Structure 1
Amino acid sequence: MPKSKTKPTYRETKFGILSIAEIEALITDGVANVNAFLLRAYENLPISIKTAKELHEKIAGHVFNEAGDFRKKEVSPN
């Protein structure tokens, strides 16, 4: 099967199938939560790989089950 040239407009999430716009709104909330968390919890940088994965889970864990894990496949920017 040939690879699609169109970007997906919907994706499966913990909340069901959502549009990219709905997902972006949820992720924006996650980023705000992580910003507040960083201001409270981290005084010294750099951030380790473990910490980066924890932050990603905090940003997107409420949306995606795989948040906080490394991707298992290459993702194309197109």
Structure 2
Amino acid sequence: MKVTLDPERCVGAGHCVLSAGTVFDQDEADGVVLLLDPEPAEDLADAVLEAADLCPARAILVTGADGRPV
């Protein structure tokens, strides 16, 4: 799985950090999402997908090995 972000869409809600704190963090200055691990381990898939699903701005894109959205 590969994770990409559109930080310009991020509204700083923080759901991503709460769901997958080893993959996402927030900038302390403005709360915008930071990507810590663009290719997280498979055992984090559920947490990463939850983070993407909960993102109100749809700033997180998760793709599979084939490059298609998961």
Q: Same fold (TM over 0.5)?
A: no
Flag the structure with higher strand content. Answer: 2
Q: Give TM-score scaled by structure 1 length.
A: 0.27
Instruction: Please identify which structure carries the higher helix content.
Output: 1
| Higher relative contact order structure (alpha carbons within 8 Å, sequence separation ≥ 6) | 2
* Higher radius of gyration, 1 or 2: 1
